[in-house]
A and B are shown apart, each in its own frame.
Chain A
Amino acid sequence: MRLVVLNSCEGARTSLTDPYAGVATTLIQLGVPAVVAMQFEISDEAAIVFGEELYTNLIGRQDPIDAAVAEARKAILIEVDDVEWATPVLFMRDPKVELFSFVVPAAPLPPPPAPIPIGAPDADRPDGADEELEATTSGPVRQVVATGVAGTGNGDGDSTAGDGGSGGRWKRWAAIGGGAAVVAAAVGGLLLAIDGDDDPGTSESTATNVDSTAQTAPRVPSGEARPHTATLAFEIVERNGDIHVFELDPRGGQTAQATDRPGAHDIEADWDPASNHIAFVRTNATTGRCTGICDVVPKAFSDDTGRRVEQLINPQNGIRHHQPAWARDSSLYYAATGACAEAASCSSDIRRATFDRQPAQDDPNFIDRWTVATDELALGGVEDLRDIDTDPQDENRIAVVGSGGVHIARNGSVEMRLDGSDGAVTVRFAPDGSRLVALLDDGGMVFWNRDGTPLVTTDMSTMLSTFVAQQGASAGDLDPAAVRVVSISSNESDAEFVALVDQPDSAGPPEIVVVDFGDDGRPVVEMWSRLPASLTSIGVLQSIAR
């Protein structure tokens, strides 16, 4: 035995008087050359990421154990959080002695999964894509004793996963284990962009684009829609009542926590795909350096430790700042609401801030510092403001939801009120800005062209029922007639909209539905899948940030 990996809590700790009283140190004393153990409690997510990376590097790449552990730490840092990477500890009897002496060269490692763009017909999908998406396990793994725990499978996998009728563009991939992969596929079109050299939304380009001079210029060329992100961001109500922002990296289905202030409620998150900043509203925090509208660059998109939460819009006494919405030029629209008498309608101003960006070379916890350069009134007197979204084609144009429905405003003037928008709760532009959708308080969904022409009014249960009937997919344990849309996002790949839905009385995880427009000009479900268990195990998903 050359190595023992103790993926359990506090195996690295020992007594203050006897170095060999702990589990790991005892194993070293007993002759095991190397032990990896945890010095603190470790989350399931971090333990899983660590194990995967450790073996891939130690055996697959034939790295020394030190290097393999370092790579696994880095994976935790990127995929899980900015503290747990230090939880694993490497004990060795003699660090200079290698664990293994490989006679044959390192095995070639498998390439990353091929991205699958939304809307690709089955015939266009690469061979074996079904198996990859299902993320089931089979193959050379065997059990020492062939009883009890199964050696393969994907949790509570739905037997219908991936076996829908032929000819459909997408089927339902309902197994939790495959959920992340399916969401990854949902943004597959963007993954292709990430692999290119000119993607403006990737971490690498963001990190390197933060140069040494302050800048306020738009990062998206005029006339082009802003780039799509490769990430879904979620607000999750954790079981202790905290609300934090999480992100889902579709490349591997991994999740990362962007905010973690104890006691805080971090809500109304909005992602700026051009800069990878997430603006959000922090309430209920008893400590910390930010209240009201804050921002953070999640670690999964930085090249080191990420950027901690910072104040983005300075608070004002008696004014509530909320509903941040990034524009395509990385300026920020937000609502400023004064004190409202109970039962009275609140009036809000919508303001627009631009920022100076300064590199933070002195502090490694910061990638850059954003300070407000200008802060101007964009639209005044919105009654009972509920939502703001920005036009991906025009940084001066916004959609606003208030008690009077959805209004489109440009340069401080209302262009139009969208017909049929009474009772709207949220509004989103499609990623290319060609259409809008509003979710109504009765569950209805109304679609318009960007010029305000009404397209269709429908609801998610109708679209899902149609999808099930046409595609031959199984509804599994989800009743299409019972679903409700929790939130909508406009920011995923080439899809029109992404909706987070669930069933009011269901104990199951929320599901995610990608909606596109068919050839007949009607919205259709492109994909329908559960969210990964790694997200839903944390708490209750409250919304898709964007």
Chain B
Amino acid sequence: MATYVYDDFRVTFTPRPDGSYDVRAVDASNETTQGVFTMPLSEDDLTRAVLQVARSNSRRATPTAPAAPTTLAAATPATRYVGGDGPPAFDAAHLGTLLAGALFTGDIAEHYERATNAGAAKGSGLRLSLSLADAPALVNVPWEFLYRRPRFLASQRHTPVVRWLDTGSLAPPPAIDDTVRILGVIAAPSDLNPLDVEAERRRIEDATRAMCDIDRVELDWLDPATPRRLREVLRDGSYHVLHYVGHSDYTSTGDGVPSSKTTTGDRAPSTARRSPTSCRTRRRCVLSC
């Protein structure tokens, strides 16, 4: 049984011909409100803001320092930007305020306020579920920065932000009467920048040790982390969680690319859609890595 209960506040975006979006909000009591969302930033400004975050993060992620990227696709682990004279630091609160101001307008703002208060009155949080399946251009918007004074919504336990991709019915949760099984996959191909994967491995092991000791968690590490081994290990469908540590890219052609490695240690070619998939049965899934 969950230790914390949420009401859902589902917001669905539907594109309009003028580039804005119809917004439909439904709360836990099925009260519905309508509104219009217009991106508060131009695509260039949004790209610039996202780039600043990427730069900020990459400055800590790698010691290498090639030229600054000029496109989103260039802000990948292979072309790290590491600072120097540049635009002012990214202001997360400002961006978040703009996004929230554009989303929570008129009736929807009041509706969200009512839902928040209703949840609080009965001790529930309010989950903001953003339905983006019909609005792919909004998937890359950093909604997690949504800011309503005095808080970033997503940084608070009682107001999480979730991206909802409604792709059909979902199997009920498996009853966990003993052990949650986690499969750890560390893919560090020798031809990509090194990552501190050992540190993460230690931390995950440390974090789960007490639970492992009482058989609440079983943590296995896949080695070697090749696509073949992954398929073999997942074949019996006994793992509940897959934890992937490594590189991935987002290419200009629009394919997500997690990096696994070949048996010789180099990066194995892969895309998100490549390789067999069989995820339709509960607790059984072969990932497309």
Spell out A's residues near B (CB within 8 Å): 1-11, 13-33, 39-49, 51-53, 55-56, 59-64, 66-67, 69-71, 73-74, 77, 81-104, 106-107, 109-110, 135, 137, 139-145, 147-149, 151-155, 177, 238-242, 257, 260-263, 286-288, 304-305, 364-365, 533-534, 537-538
CA distance A147 to B156 in the complex (A): 42
- Do A8 and B170 touch across chains, with their CB atoms under 8 A apart? no
Known: A16-B136, A31-B285, A100-B174. A141 touches B221 (CB 8 A): yes
| Residues of chain B in range 51-106 having any CB-CB distance to chain A below 8 Å | 53-61, 63, 65, 72, 75-77, 80, 82-90, 92-93
- Do B256 and A9 touch across chains, with their CB atoms under 8 A apart? no
- Do B53 and A40 touch across chains, with their CB atoms under 8 A apart? yes
- Do B162 and A95 touch across chains, with their CB atoms under 8 A apart? yes
Whole-angstrom distance between the Cβ of B163 and the nearest chain A Cβ = 5
- Do A83 and B92 touch across chains, with their CB atoms under 8 A apart? yes
Q: A28-B167, A101-B176 are in contact. List 19 more A-B contacts (CB 8 A).
A: A4-B243, A11-B248, A14-B254, A18-B254, A22-B139, A28-B165, A40-B53, A60-B207, A67-B160, A86-B152, A98-B2, A101-B175, A102-B176, A140-B209, A143-B220, A148-B224, A177-B199, A238-B59, A262-B89
- Do B60 and A257 touch across chains, with their CB atoms under 8 A apart? yes
A100 contacts which chain B residues (CB < 8 A)?
Answer: 173-174, 176, 180, 240
**Which single member of A2, A16, A70 contacts B283 (CB below 8 Å)?**
A2
Whole-angstrom distance between the Cβ of A148 and the nearest chain B Cβ = 4
CA distance A262 to B175 in the complex (A): 49
Q: Which residue of A lies closest to B254 (CB)?
A: A15
B55 contacts which chain A residues (CB < 8 A)?
Answer: 262
CA distance A99 to B160 in the complex (A): 16
- Do A262 and B84 touch across chains, with their CB atoms under 8 A apart? yes
Is the C-beta of B195 less than 8 angstroms from some C-beta in chain A? yes
CA distance A150 to B239 in the complex (A): 21
Is the C-beta of B203 less than 8 angstroms from some C-beta in chain A? yes
A83 contacts which chain B residues (CB < 8 A)?
Answer: 53, 56-57, 90, 92
Whole-angstrom distance between the Cβ of A208 and the nearest chain B Cβ = 16
Interface residues on B, range: 35 or more
**Which single member of A7, A91, A240 contacts B84 (CB below 8 Å)?**
A240
Q: Which residue of A lies closest to B246 (CB)?
A: A8
CA distance A145 to B228 in the complex (A): 13
Specify which of A6, A77, A153, A305 lies most central, judged by the most chain B CB atoms within 10 Å of its CB. Answer: A6
- Do B247 and A62 touch across chains, with their CB atoms under 8 A apart? no
B288 contacts which chain A residues (CB < 8 A)?
Answer: 26-27, 30
- Do B256 and A137 touch across chains, with their CB atoms under 8 A apart? no
B273 contacts which chain A residues (CB < 8 A)?
Answer: 26
Can you list 25 A-B contacts with CB-CB less than 8 angstroms, sorted by A residue number? A1-B239, A1-B240, A3-B242, A4-B243, A7-B245, A16-B140, A19-B165, A26-B272, A31-B280, A40-B57, A43-B61, A46-B57, A48-B203, A55-B217, A60-B210, A62-B1, A64-B4, A74-B157, A90-B160, A141-B219, A142-B220, A142-B221, A144-B221, A151-B205, A155-B198
- Do A97 and B172 touch across chains, with their CB atoms under 8 A apart? yes
- Do A1 and B285 touch across chains, with their CB atoms under 8 A apart? yes
- Do B165 and A143 touch across chains, with their CB atoms under 8 A apart? no
